[in-house]
Amino acid sequence: MQGQGLLKGLGVTMKNFVRPVHTVQYPDRKVGLLGAAKRAGVSPFRFFADNPREGLKALLFIATVPERVQQAPRFRGNEFTWYEDRCTGCASCAKYCPLGIIKIVTHPGGIDVQEGESYAIDVFDIDIGRCMFCGLCVEACPYDALHMGSQFERGNYVRNDLVIDIEQLRSNLKRPSSWFRPQFEERKFDPFKGETVDDHYKAGRHEQPSPDELKERWVDGRK
């Protein structure tokens, strides 16, 4: 039928015209008195009585409240989470990084010499100013020592300050992303609920099995 395409196009336009808007005014949005009171969890009268200055601003629609979009647990944040006691200094992460922005300097550590000796790490720098968050370094880490982080509001005025050094990696909050870490998803771990994974034995795929698990796997399972 002639004109059918036109009606179809208009239908799509109308559908989108009445759809709710999903634009989020990040990092904060303007609110009126009702919105400000709702955010504070009190009635508008109480809000005005407790904060006359803020109440007045809200009445004039110039008050703001912080607005954050809920991130998914697999979000790849740019602060990285590093578990030093898992890291052997093998530098696989640095070799896999397609941009070559991980710098690792080590020396023979004299640790676990009988087992093959671990390196002591002198330098571990990641230039997140150039990082594209592909996560290949995390995939390459054989010991689950390196995870993507969960933070993102880390803007800076100086590019050199975007290089994360070993001290920052050590002190970063242990809130890893669950990206490429199915063990976190199995536990329903969510860094955006303020959870941390400080215990390195609970951070990796290669957890030491308990004696019961060993018995079940190697004794009971073979009967």
* Interacting residues with ligand SF4 (CB under 6 A): 87-93, 96-97, 99, 101-102, 104, 126, 131-137, 140-141, 143, 145-146
Least spacing, CB of residue 159 vs ligand SF4, in Å: 15
**For residues 36 and 88, which CB has a smaller minimum distance to ligand SF4 in the complex?**
88
**For residues 44 and 204, which CB has a smaller minimum distance to ligand SF4 in the complex?**
204
**For residues 51 and 118, which CB has a smaller minimum distance to ligand SF4 in the complex?**
118
State the amino acid at position 215 in one-letter form.
K
Query: What's the CA gap between 67 and 172, in Å, rounded?
Result: 24
Least spacing, CB of residue 84 vs ligand SF4, in Å: 9
**For residues 63 and 104, which CB has a smaller minimum distance to ligand SF4 in the complex?**
104
Burial per residue of 100-134, b for 16 or more beta-carbon CB atoms within 10 angstroms, e otherwise: ebbebebeeeeeeeeeeebbebeebbbbbeebebe
Least spacing, CB of residue 153 vs ligand SF4, in Å: 18
* Cα 156 to Cα 33, 72, 161, 169, 221, distances in angstroms: 34, 24, 7, 17, 55
- Which residues lie below 8 Å from residue 217, measured CB to CB, with a gap of 6+? 209
Least spacing, CB of residue 98 vs ligand SF4, in Å: 6
